[in-house]
Amino acid sequence: AQSVSQHNHHVILSEAASLELGCNYSYGGTVNLFWYVQYPGQHLQLLLKYFSGDPLVKGIKGFEAEFIKSKFSFNLRKPSVQWSDTAEYFCAPWGGKLIFGQGTTLQVKP
């Protein structure tokens, strides 16, 4: 069965701090990996995706993620967060269907 786990439920950072959000998934076959973001009052939107090739993928707004197949992980990173990054972040593996982790609420203090 397909499953996903996000390690951090609530993260509070100051502006300019570095961010890393953990995501581990389980699925026996080929998997595509996504990170979605939900800004306050807005709908879910794609942050970045991995299908194949270079395991380090870059997304919008300076976010990047690294796929480590041996660890079944797809961690999200940003070197320097901004107040506008305050949002909920969801890791979502696709292995036949798209499922979501429980999400991480990121609060960036100005």
Q: Note the residues at the interface with another protein (CB under 8 A).
A: 6, 30, 32, 34, 36, 43-46, 49, 51, 90, 94, 96-103, 105
Partners of 93 in the beta sheet?
33
Report the residue number, 45 or 80, with the smaller CB distance to another protein. 45
Report the residue number, 72 or 94, with the smaller CB distance to another protein. 94
Report the residue number, 79 or 96, with the smaller CB distance to another protein. 96
Shortest distance (Å) from residue 3 CB to another protein: 11
Shortest distance (Å) from residue 67 CB to another protein: 15
The count of residues in the chain is: 110
Alpha-carbon span 54 to 85, nearest angstrom: 25
Other residues' Cβ atoms within 10 Å of the Cβ of residue 16:
10
With H, G, I as helix, E, B as strand and everything else as coil, classify residue 56: strand
Partners of 19 in the beta sheet?
78
